[in-house]
Amino acid sequence: MFIDIPSELEASLIGLPLPAWKLDGSFLAESTMERYRTELTAAPRFEETAVRLRHALTGEGGGYAVLRLGSLAKVLGTGDDRFLRLVTGFAAEAAVPFSPFPLWPLWKDIGVKVDKDPGRASGIGYNAFHMDLVNATLPPDYTTLLCVRHDPLGGGLSILSDAHAAVARLSEDSRTLLAETAYHYGNFFDLFGVGEEYTPFPILDGADRGEGLVRFTAKMLERSQLGQAHADAARELAEELVRGQLSFMLQPGDYLIVNQHRFLHGRKALHTGQETLPVADRRLLLQLFLRAPAGDGSAT
């Protein structure tokens, strides 16, 4: 699921003049997607790479991909608009980029704040397995993370787990409980493009047959009041997710795309000593969400 960019494609992308993107509401405008695709498909081996990307995300046994764009990032700079436009163009090959947060631009910064809840995305602790926007009727089909800087102290490995494989290892009684509309977590306000608030919700939202969503966040075990039986079933799922987890370190320029219909994600704790690092040297990711076109079916 790690996709290296062919050298001839890298060389052709360095000087590619992609224009600034435009939004249609909270979604990347169709005109921008068409312009990016026209420019990118003219580059050698781009279509081949895009096919590999889509297969990694939606093909049999797939569900995530890491595009290794580090060489481009070194030449252009991870903070350069040209680089971010290229990454947005790659993202648009999977689905439609959008931002559900009206107060944030298309890409959202996820830095490191030592005074925040350690378990949050911007915290320094273990960020347990979860689906982004778990309590929305239409959570993003894909969540994506672009690594600008990794933890210079060596922590913060990304973790992924095949949600359906974890569910398949549960007892029948646990799956029955997880399919009941008995779970809730988080707040819901000022969000675009993700439907309505869904609370309570089933964890196995059509996923008891190996399809649909596994609406899970391990934080519900500590921050939601659940009945004992439902909490135990969710805890069993959490244990299976950990048992089947993959872990790897994102390097600068690596672009992780996760199909939320198949995989859940999280992060191991950052290395101790984050408070000694200048803010500008700490781990920094950029997050972007993707919506599969209506009727596409590629995320299921």
* pTM for the structure as a whole: 0.95
Residue 210 pLDDT exceeds 80 = no
Average pLDDT value for residue range 212-233: 94
224, with CB counted inside 10 A (0-12, 13-18, 19+), is: middle
- Residues with Cβ within 8 Å of 37's Cβ and at least 6 positions away in sequence, in order, are 89, 92, 93
pLDDT in tens, 173-208: 999 999 999 999 988 988 999 999 999 999 999 855
Question: What one-letter code names the amino acid at 135?
Answer: N
Token code pair at residue 6: 């062919």
With cut-offs at 50, 70 and 90, classify the pLDDT of residue 295.
Answer: low
Full set of structural domains in the chain with CATH: 2-291 (3.60.130.10)
Q: How far is CA 79 from the centre of its chain?
A: 20
Residue 145 pLDDT > 80, yes or no? yes
Model pLDDT for residues 23-64, shown as the tens digit of each residue: 999 999 999 999 999 999 999 999 999 999 999 999 999 999
Instruction: Tell me how crowded residue 257 is: count the other CB atoms within 10 A of its CB.
Output: 26
Q: Which residues contact 19 (CB under 8 A, 6 or more apart)?
A: 32, 35, 85
Q: How many CB atoms lie within 10 A of CB 247?
A: 12
Residue 104 has a pLDDT of 85
Q: Under a CB-based contact definition with an 8 Å cutoff, are residues 147 and 79 in contact? A: no
213-214/204-205 β-pairing: antiparallel
- What b/e sequence results for 101-139 when a residue is b if at least 16 CB atoms lie within 10 Å of its CB, and e otherwise? beeeebbbebbbbbeeeebebbbbeebbbbbbbbbbeeb
pLDDT in tens, 240-288: 999 999 999 999 999 999 999 999 999 999 999 999 999 999 999 999 9
The helix/strand/coil state of 43 is coil
- C-alpha separations of 83 from 14, 216, 258 in Å: 8, 33, 20
Given a contact cutoff of 8 angstroms between Cβ atoms, the answer to whether 9 and 44 are in contact is yes
Contact indicator for 87, 77 with CB cutoff of 8 Å: no
* Closest CA relative to residue 81, chosen from 114, 106, 115: 106
Contact 178, 170 (CB under 8 A): yes
Q: How many Cα atoms sit within 13 Å of 141 on the Cβ side?
A: 20
Model confidence at 87, in pLDDT bands (50, 70, 90)? Answer: very high
